[in-house]
Structure 1
Amino acid sequence: MNQTLSRKPVSSQASHLRFTTRELVLGGMFAALMAVISQLSIPMPNGVPITIQVFGIALIGITLGWRLGCLSAVIYLLIGAVGLPVFANFGGGVSRLVSLTGGYLWSYPLMAALCGIHPNTGNQKKDTALILLSSLAGLLLVETIGGLQWAALSGGSMSVSAVFAYAAVAFIPKDIILTVLAVFIGLSMRKVLNRIMR
């Protein structure tokens, strides 16, 4: 009796963690969308291009939710790692993940998950504010992990403080605006997607 009761929660959790075929297709579609968005970039002399990728990742997380959004970001990284040119400036391969910009890429699933947290306080304005905060926390994670890897692989040419000072001017203001924009567009897309899925 006790053994039977102890198995039920495990089975329930396992089924909750599984993805349906529809979810896998959605995750793949949004990974493809991310691949397109990633090509909208401006190459820079220091090797770190100016992109709108954080907009794409935030949009994926907000629209799909933390679980499926994280999966979609992982799919994007996997198809890039095997060599398909889905990263910025039509890049691909494992070498991109261990390059100066690799830390930004590695942290995308974490940002997607944080953007996908949808509280249900019963107050729409409060929910939106909390989503904005968690999304900006995800952006902070991307900038931190990305900046640390950039500094670590720069061969001493840029210190950690120099990397973050540069990012604060070149990337962070733009990325904050893109993240906030993605929140509001993503919430609208989520409503449409929920109606379609029903």
Structure 2
Amino acid sequence: MNQTDTNVKINNQAQRMSTKTMVLTGMCAAVTAILSQIAIPLPSGVPVTLQTFAVALAGYMLGWKSGGMSTAVYILMGCVGVPVFSNFSGGLGIIAGKTGGFITGFLFMSMLCGIGARQKGKISGIAFGLAGLLIVHAAGVIQFSVLTGMKPLQATALVSLPYIGKDIASVAAAYFAGRKIRRHIGNSEGMEESILL
């Protein structure tokens, strides 16, 4: 095989990988939108949903770049009014509202989960996701506290602590599910060029 044939083969592989990446990115954004509708309302106004699992899964499946892009697409869809947030809500009012800090924090969590996907050990892989989860809860508590006038400790007790156990379990479950799915969609190292870098 000469150099030209080699270059053509590499270009064809890159094009297929790019298409595959775009499809998976869009698919993960759609999955996040769907799982966001599985919601249990609570008096705090912050519902229990499967968003955390979906966002973490996108990161662990696709890596930091495409996982972050998937979450960004989901957030942007909601910002322009597509009802992808919990309870079929959408619009900038949700992002600017008392639950918006959690949603914007998801972007950082998906990227950190993507970095975690590249770690060799399970503990370190999950730890990156948990670091992202900490950002989600911190951003959520701060915005909730500012908009409601509630003290940060009170806000933490109301909108963070009741959810933290479920969210930790969601990140761990997403890590193992993401690893399994990656084995089927392609070796992570083979996808790193277009997805993780």
For 1:48 and 1:135, how far apart are their aligned partners in 2?
21
Structure 2 unmatched ranges of 5 or more: 1-16, 192-197
Once superposed, what is the RMSD of the aligned Cα atoms? 1.9
For residue 31 of structure 1, what is the aligned residue in structure 2? Answer: 29
- 1:101-116 equivalent positions in 2, closer than 5 A: 101-116=99-114
The alignment of Structure 1 onto Structure 2 pairs a total of residues equal to: 173
Question: Is 1:119–1:130's contact at 8 Å kept on the other side of the alignment?
Answer: no
Amino acid at match of 1:78: L
> What CA distance in whole angstroms lies between the structure 2 residues aligned with 1:119 and 1:21?
22
> Structure 1 stretches of 5 or more lacking a match?
1-18, 122-126
Residue 135 of structure 2 is matched in structure 1 by 141
Q: What is the match of residue 64 of structure 1? A: 62
Shift of 1:31: 0.2
Identity of aligned residues (%): 39
Matches of 2:80 and 2:55, distance apart in 1: 20
For residues 60 and 119 of structure 1, the distance between their equivalents in structure 2, rounded to whole angstroms, comes to 14
Deviation at 1:23, TM superposition (A): 2.0
CA distance in 1, matches of 2:84, 2:160: 26
Tell me: CA distance 1:108–1:169, structure 2 relative to 1, closer, same or farther (3 Å).
Answer: closer
Structure 2 Cα separation of the partners of residues 100 and 137 of structure 1: 22
Q: Specify which of 62, 84, 87 is matched with residue 86 of structure 1.
A: 84
1:179 aligns with 2:171: yes
Give the distance between the partners of 1:167 and 1:80, measured in 2 at CA: 21
User: What does the per-residue CA deviation read over 1:66-115, in whole Å, with 9 as the maximum and x for residues that have no partner?
Assistant: 11000000000011111111001101011110000000011111100000
Whether 1:166 and 2:138 are equivalent positions in the alignment is: no
Q: Which has the higher helix share?
A: 2
Structure 1 runs of 4+ off > 6 angstroms?
none
Change (3 A) 1:58 1:87: same
